Structures are given as structure tokens and as C-alpha cells.
Amino acid sequence: MALASPQIRAICVEANEFPYLSNQFRVRGVPHTVINRKASFVGAIPEPDFVAAVLEGAGLPTPLPDPPQGGRELPRGPSTEIAS
């Protein structure tokens, strides 16, 4: 995200080399992601959950999830085709 936008900054910290920060953020597993000191999560998570956590940490509303794919088809209205 930081590579895609100049409005986002990312810092990677080696937990073993900075024990003070590891204790401050209660790092118990890696990756341990902290967003604006407001939200955090541990481990690799699906992209939609990652985006939601980042938005939450930034204080922005979380977008609604995409509708499920492959569900039942919605009924269609009257046909607008013209018979020849």
C-alpha cells in the first residue's frame, strides 16, 4: 500500500533487534501489523480483512464486502428483445 500511495507510510521493524518496541506492541507472533497505534493483527490474513483493519486503524469507514459469487441468479425483468 505504501508503494502505491504517497499518503501511506510503512515501517518494517525486526522484533528481535528492537525488544522495547516488541514489548510496547506486545508482539507474540510475526507478522504483527500495527496501524496508527490503534489497530493491529497477527499473522497473514485475507486481503479484505487486511484492508478493513488498515481502514479501521486509519479511522475510516470500512467498505461493505463484495457479494458472494456463484449464488442463485436473481430473477430478470421483462425481456426487451425485439422479435424479427
What pTM does this model have?
A: 0.61
pLDDT tens digits, one per residue of 59-79: 887 766 666 666 555 555 554
pLDDT tens digits, one per residue of 6-42: 988 888 989 899 999 889 989 988 889 888 888 888 8
Closest CA to 1 of 52, 51, 56, 61: 51
Domain ranges of the chain: 1-63
Is residue 15 within 8 Å of residue 27, measured between CB atoms? yes
Element (H, E) at 34: strand 32-35
SS3 35: strand
The rounded distance, in Å, linking the Cα atoms of 47 and 25 is 22
